[in-house]
Amino acid sequence: MSKVTTQPSRNGISEARRSAGLTEKALAERLGVSMWEVERLESGEIDPSRYAEALERHTGRPRSSFRLDRPSSEESAEPRPSTAEPGLISPAELTGERLVLASIAALVIVRFFTEVVPVVPRAANFIDVPIVAVLVVAALFRPPVRESRDLLSHWVPPLAVAFLALSAVSAVINPSRVDIAPALVFVYGVLSPLLVYGAVRRLWPVGRALAASRLLIALGVVQIVVVALIDIPRFVGSNNPDDITGTFGTNAYQLVFFLLIFVTLLAGIYTYERQRLVARFVPLLIALSLVTIVLAQYRALLVTTGLVLLLCAVILGGRRSRGLIAAGTAVAAFMAALAFGAAKLPILKLDQTLNQDPATLASQRLEIAGQVERLYDDDPQFIITGTGPGTFSSRGWQTFAGSEANSESNVAGSYALKLTGGHAYRTDVSDRYVQPLLQRRGGEVAGSRAVKSPYSDYIAVAAEVGFLGLLILVLIYVGAFIAALRRTIAAVRSPLPSDPLPALLLTTTIAFFALLQMGLLDNWLEVTRLTFIAWALLAISTKEFDARIGREGT
């Protein structure tokens, strides 16, 4: 139940609401705003003039009785909660918001300007490193976020410290095979997203969920435009589906991940924010996005796409008919795109994927994971200590072990060679357990090479820092998924009109749901371009939700 605010009214709205027998929630529903907005109206933080007519109608008081009193100098000295009004956000808060949004945008589009339309050096692909550093430094100059409900931030730091300590111990115990550069890349890949979460949580001004939603929509539309104007013409000319990458350069899987959260956000907007302009185009945008996912040829993620749409349908369809329509449109578009692609575009090899027994795919991945069991059997010490960070099959090892490979997607290769003296990085454990798999993994399963790949975050972490390191990684990502899911369920149970938070929370939940599956197929939990977005969204959406609940009560 909502509770009556005890904050003194500066403009008569609170007294008028109580005189009319209305709760904050009831007035919010009549005004078409959140309860938070009502609280700010009553406290004088927002000029009530734009709501004057509605206030007059619903409270029975003349509009002239609603005024905005200037707070006293003593009140002005007190820290005030962030608001959704740009004019009421302090310069520091506005800078923090812009920094977060600009960081997300830069990570999404940078590879377009380094690989598709190469107007900046390819070294700019490493922009995530300075971005993380800038966010962390900026957050250090902001006051701590005082929240009693932010349980997520209470357990993330201890787990991060534990993982870092475990990696350090593993490196010390395995000095003969650990190299500093691959080890640092491994630790950075796993832990930098947690730094992003903490920094964004501190920098983000509460009440600006709509700004984050608008950015994601804009970036999603950019993907569709780039695919339509650049990628598809190249695909028609080359007959190579790998050309479908949007703004993500040579990385189709990154495009697929982003489009999955884009589709989810669209479905949420269609369900809960029907007054937004983009809501009118949701069916078209969803259909185009899912067609793009199919064309992108990253068949290993088709199962993930199907499961994402299913979870989205369950969450949205259980509460609102519009949610069922949005989810149903997405499922139908996905099935139609699959059917058309399998029948008319044999180059996509979708028929192999659709006709493959799922049990066969699972058995192939279990066979690859069996290399860790073999490692443990050969030397039980590795169960506790691991082989050392960056020594087995992680992104850190892969970056330096494949540095001599001539690949467009191997951006770090030339830089890695300089750090290793011109030779590819090798370790005894990777030579024994990983290289044989790479040498004989030729051929495809269900039209995809990923099934036979030795790369997987769960395999790599279990080997390099032991079983405890794997447990910590799983706890971090499963915990983040559950935290987002619980808040999503709470938000969709009683949504307010035109509230952007339910859709944003749903998008965050889907981002982690997808990442947990993607970690089974490759070292994608170590790819900052993916994890940055997920953890930044988690920080934004949970801070918005927790602040709202903490202030309004339930």
pLDDT tens sequence across 184-235:
999 999 999 999 999 999 999 988 899 999 999 999 999 999 999 999 998 8
**Quick one: pLDDT band at residue 72, thresholds 50, 70, 90?**
very low
Give 50-63 pLDDT, tens digit per residue: 677 777 777 777 76
Cα 418 vs. chain centroid, distance in angstroms?
A: 33
**Quick one: pLDDT band at residue 21, thresholds 50, 70, 90?**
confident
User: Is the pTM value of this prediction over 0.85?
Assistant: no
In the chain, what are the domain boundaries?
1-60, 94-353+466-552
What per-residue confidence (pLDDT) applies to 436? 84
- Mean pLDDT value across the chain: 81
- Separation of alpha carbons 348 and 352, rounded Å: 9
Residues across the chain = 554
Q: Which is nearest to 521 in space by CA: 406, 362, 338, 309? A: 362
What per-residue confidence (pLDDT) applies to 352? 60
Q: Which is nearest to 537 in space by CA: 204, 219, 274, 128? A: 204
pLDDT greater than 80 at residue 46 = no
Cβ contacts of residue 310 below 8 Å, gap of 6+? 331
**Quick one: pLDDT band at residue 416, thresholds 50, 70, 90?**
low
Determine the average pLDDT of the residues in 146-171.
83
Task: Please state which CATH number belongs to domain 1-60.
Answer: 1.10.260
Number of C-beta neighbours around residue 374 at 10 A: 10
Determine the average pLDDT of the residues in 500-509.
96
Give 148-160 pLDDT, tens digit per residue: 456 677 888 999 9
**Quick one: pLDDT band at residue 442, thresholds 50, 70, 90?**
low
What per-residue confidence (pLDDT) applies to 74? 36
Least confident of 101-110, 431-440, 457-466: 431-440
pLDDT greater than 50 at residue 3 = no
Cβ contacts of residue 49 below 8 Å, gap of 6+? 66, 68
Cβ contacts of residue 79 below 8 Å, gap of 6+? 143
Q: Which helix (H) or strand (E) holds 82?
A: none
Q: Which is nearest to 316 in space by CA: 507, 554, 34? A: 507
Number of C-beta neighbours around residue 432 at 10 A: 13
Q: Give, in order, the Cα–Cα distances in Å from 87 to each of 82, 83, 157, 178, 197.
A: 11, 9, 34, 53, 26
Place of tokens 């000295």: 77
pLDDT greater than 80 at residue 68 = no
pLDDT greater than 60 at residue 358 = no
**Quick one: pLDDT band at residue 408, thresholds 50, 70, 90?**
low
Q: Give, in order, the Cα–Cα distances in Å from 115 to each of 249, 303, 309.
A: 5, 28, 31
Greatest alpha-carbon span in the chain: 82
- Separation of alpha carbons 223 and 252, rounded Å: 12
